[in-house]
Structure 1
Amino acid sequence: MLRIGLCQLTSSDDPETNLKLIRDGVATAAADGARVVLFPEATQARFGGPLGPIAEPLDGPWAQTVAGIAEEFGVLVVAGMFTPSDDGRVRNTALITGLGEHRGYHKIHLYDAFGFRESDTVAPGTELVTVEVDGVKLGVATCYDMRFPELFRALADGGAAAVVVPTSWGAGEGKVEQWEVLVRARALDSGCWILGCDQADPKATDTEVNPKAPTGIGHSIVSDGFGHVHAHLGAGPEVVVVDIDPELATRARAATGALTNRRL
Structure 2
Amino acid sequence: MRVALAQIISGRDLAANLSILEQQAQRAKAGGADMVVFPEASMRAFGNSLLDIAEPVDGPWASRVRSVAASLEIVVVAGMFTPGSAGKVRNTLLATGPGVETSYDKVHLFDAFGFLESDTVDPGTDPVTFTAGGITFGLATCYDIRFPALFLANAERGVDANIVCASWASGPGKVDQWQLLARARALDSTTYILACGQGDPVTQGVPAKDGAPTGVGHSAVVSPLGEVLDELDGAPGLLFADLDAAVVKEARQKLPVLANRRQF
- TM-score normalised by the chain length of structure 1: 0.98
Look up the match of 2:120. Answer: 121
- Counterpart mapping for 1:21-170 below 5 A: 21-170=20-169
Q: After TM superposition, what 4+ stretches of structure 1 lie above 4 angstroms from structure 2?
A: none
State the AA in 2 paired with 1:130.
T
Q: Distance in 1 between matches of 2:7 and 2:128?
A: 22
Q: Distance in 1 between matches of 2:71 and 2:141?
A: 26
* Number of corresponding residues: 263
Q: Distance in 2 between matches of 1:7 and 1:56?
A: 23
Higher mean displacement: 168-177 or 200-209: 200-209
Q: Could you tell me which runs of 5 or more consecutive residues in structure 1 were left unpaired when the two chains were aligned.
A: none
Q: Distance in 1 between matches of 2:106 and 2:254?
A: 31
Q: Distance in 2 between matches of 1:95 and 1:87?
A: 22
State the AA in 2 paired with 1:23.
E
Contact persistence 2:192–2:221 (CA under 8 A):
yes
What RMSD in Å do the two structures reach over aligned CA positions? 0.9
Q: Distance in 2 between matches of 1:96 and 1:40?
A: 12
Q: Distance in 2 between matches of 1:134 and 1:171?
A: 34
Tell me how far 1:209 sits from its aligned partner: 3.9
Look up the match of 1:183. Answer: 182
Higher mean displacement: 98-107 or 77-86: 98-107
State the AA in 2 paired with 1:243.
D
* DSSP 3-state at the match of 2:57: coil
Cα deviations by residue, 1:84-143 (Å, 9 ceiling, x for unpaired): 013431000001111133331000000000100000000000111111102211111111
Contact persistence 1:48–1:209 (CA under 8 A):
no
State the AA in 2 paired with 1:144.
Y
Contact persistence 1:67–1:102 (CA under 8 A):
no
State the AA in 2 paired with 1:113.
A
Q: Could you tell me which runs of 5 or more consecutive residues in structure 2 were left unpaired when the two chains were aligned.
A: none
Look up the match of 2:254. Answer: 255
Q: Distance in 1 between matches of 2:243 and 2:86?
A: 39
Q: Distance in 1 between matches of 2:13 and 2:206?
A: 14
* DSSP 3-state at the match of 1:141: strand
Q: Distance in 1 between matches of 2:233 and 2:170?
A: 14
Whether 2:239 is the aligned partner of 1:240: answer yes
Q: Distance in 1 between matches of 2:208 and 2:239?
A: 25
